[in-house]
Amino acid sequence: MRSMRIYLDHNATSPLRESARNAMLAALELHGNASSIHAEGRKAHALLDDAREAISRAVGAIAPMVVFTSGGSEANNLALKGAPVRRLIVSTIEHPSVLEAAKVSGKQVDIVPVDGQGIIDLFALDQLLARGPKTLVSVMLANNETGVIEPVRDVVAVAHRHGALVHCDAVQALGKIAVNFGLLGVDLLSVSAHKLGGPWGAGALIIRDGLALFPLIHGGGQELRRRAGTENIAAIAGFAAAVQEKILEIKSLRDYLELRLEGTKIFGAEAERLPNTSCFAMPGLAAETALMALDLAGFAVSSGSACSSGKVAKSHVLAAMGIAPDLASSAIRVSLGWTTTPQDIEQFISAWAKLIARRKAA
């Protein structure tokens, strides 16, 4: 058994960066409420303003458009439930925080399919938008399981032609590829801290200037009355620090890994993907078996379909792509990050080869 573990599950949570840790520790020294007018409160408010500015710059927006939330799930819920529309159109591969929020929103919900590579069907979207009431379209920028990047600008062109709004869940994309609110052309954008080396419990919804949303949380006047409650200053400070780190240059490691995975099926391989993500399967090797063996060997990886219970669940993403259930049940997701080294990849390749060899010998 390995004495040192190797973490390759950055799409679930990326370890806290030193810059984020330092920013959080400094923020914890403050003891004023950002809504108070005394000197202590003004210090906290100044930190909040600086963080809002940093995050707005990182995503190509302006500071007043940034509404801090407890994370990506809350940001997605605020977008879907708060948008001034009567209908939601969501892609079939969206994160559960989008799919479940749509179900309970009280609005009409339509689902748009994807092709075999996981790319949204723009023709089907156009057909859906040709009829029906005022609509919000929600399409992620990059899929958390496969890493496949969606043609969001094309989605926006189709949606805006029909007078629809567009929400984009960019939680998995931020920090891995360039994310620019203005260039994407969307009306709402969700981001989160812990996927890029920031802390848990901090996220934001970027709201197009002039677009009014109904708040989920009522109370005080925080976040320009769009999200009541005292802000998590320390987590927000960590978020702001992490978002200023350089975008990962890690595609060569991911590509090398995939070249060495003989006999595996790589999902979404023909589409543009996040540079850090590989979702693959060895036919006949159950994901749960592989995950347990790799964990014992010292590797933290994931099934692309890990659910909140910590168990391996069926992947709605791979099902939507038309992947056969027996192959989908073998899917493993390896996601690289800022801590990943070439030695980590070499050691994973060795461990995977040993696992396959033992399976063939059994």
* DSSP track, 162-196: TT-EEEEE-TTTBTTB---HHHHT-SEEEEESTTT
Binned at pLDDT 50, 70 and 90, residue 57 comes out as very high
Question: So where are the chain's domains?
Answer: 6-15+248-361, 18-243
At residue 262, the pLDDT reads 82
| pLDDT, tens digit, 9 for 90 and up, residues 273-301 | 999 999 999 999 999 999 999 999 999 99
**pLDDT (mean) for 170-190:** 98
At residue 169, the pLDDT reads 98
Q: Is the pLDDT of residue 3 over 60?
A: no
Q: Is the pLDDT of residue 305 over 80?
A: no
- The tokens for 274 are 């996040």
Amino acid at 315: S
SS3 (DSSP) at 265: strand
Question: Which one, of 137, 113, 134, lies nearest residue 123 by Cα?
Answer: 113
pLDDT > 70 in the chain, percent: 96
Rounded Cα gap, residues 189 and 65, in angstroms: 10
Rounded Cα gap, residues 264 and 261, in angstroms: 6
The structural architecture, per CATH, of the domain 6-15+248-361 is Alpha-Beta Complex (3.90)
Mean pLDDT of the chain: 95
Q: For residue 251, with 0-12 CB atoms within 10 Å meaning exposed, 13-18 middle and 19 or more buried, which class applies? A: middle
Rounded Cα gap, residues 184 and 177, in angstroms: 13
Binned at pLDDT 50, 70 and 90, residue 303 comes out as confident
The structural architecture, per CATH, of the domain 18-243 is 3-Layer(aba) Sandwich (3.40)
Question: Which one, of 266, 330, 287, 316, lies nearest residue 95 by Cα?
Answer: 316
Question: Which one, of 273, 301, 226, lies nearest residue 12 by Cα?
Answer: 301
Q: Is the pLDDT of residue 306 over 60?
A: no
- The tokens for 208 are 């197009």
List, by residue number, the catalytic residues: 307
Q: Are 89 and 112 in contact (CB under 8 A)?
A: yes
Rounded Cα gap, residues 51 and 241, in angstroms: 8
Binned at pLDDT 50, 70 and 90, residue 60 comes out as very high
Same fold, 6-15+248-361 and 18-243: no
| pLDDT, tens digit, 9 for 90 and up, residues 80-130 | 999 999 999 999 999 999 999 999 999 999 999 999 999 999 999 999 999
Rounded Cα gap, residues 268 and 128, in angstroms: 25
**pLDDT (mean) for 235-260:** 97
Rounded Cα gap, residues 155 and 138, in angstroms: 9
